[in-house]
Structure 1
Amino acid sequence: MFRIMYMSTATRVIPDSELEELLETSRKNNKEKNLTGLLIVKGRTFLQCLEGEKKDVEEIFNKILKDDRHTSIIDLIEEDISSRMFPTWDMGYKNLKIVDDIKSEKIRKISSIDDFDIKKEDIAEVIQEFIAYD
């Protein structure tokens, strides 16, 4: 098993309806390849985690690298894993438009900072907060 986490900036603001279509397609494709993960969006900033067989995760990530809707892609984590963080999520999703709706104080603080100003080593902890509290 393998995990990639990355951040990117959308080249334009993506409307909610387009994000929903993207999620629907991603969930269908992920289910077929037995991939799991999470997508967090704040404005034009995306934080995504993908998990599954290494070849499948890398294939999807390479498509993302070539997708002209993304720029400034930062590969945060690439690691072999023994278990998934998201075993039942074809693609979990949270849009941080409304910070007041977020239950976790840590996530609220982080999401109120522009462009997810967060240390690389804190990413996994933030993801765990999403799983546990939101």
Structure 2
Amino acid sequence: MIYSIDVQITAPVADTEIADRVATAITNIFPGAETEKRHGEISAETHSLDHFSELLHRQEILDTARGEFFGSRRGNTLAFDLKKQAAFEGVVNFAVGNPDELGDIHVRVRVEEPSVEEFVDRVAPPTEEGKPVTQDDFE
């Protein structure tokens, strides 16, 4: 399936943090993202969530991801936050509740094609007993 998305990623860089480590945290989850250092933050952009989707499958957190995506949906846009330390280790850990002391990675996805529902089904398919119920590329 061909899809068209714009993914914008931002993460604050605290005075006690090394900007390159924050950038690495982003690229560990979104390897195709082009990062840019700005004053007090790292920003990045990508047009693929393939690796992110692979991580969701590998970590078996598809239901959690679907909840985050649909819970934050505004029109054709999804937004969610990830923990920086987990991302640095290449692990997806959704940030819920109070933000981390050093701030979280904020991800905003604007879906152009297909519909948001179809896109979410591609990235994090529905599951039954923890296994995807639709045939996908990761089985």
Q: TM-score w.r.t. structure 1 length?
A: 0.33
**Greater share of residues in helix:** 1
Larger radius of gyration: 2
Q: TM-score w.r.t. structure 2 length?
A: 0.32
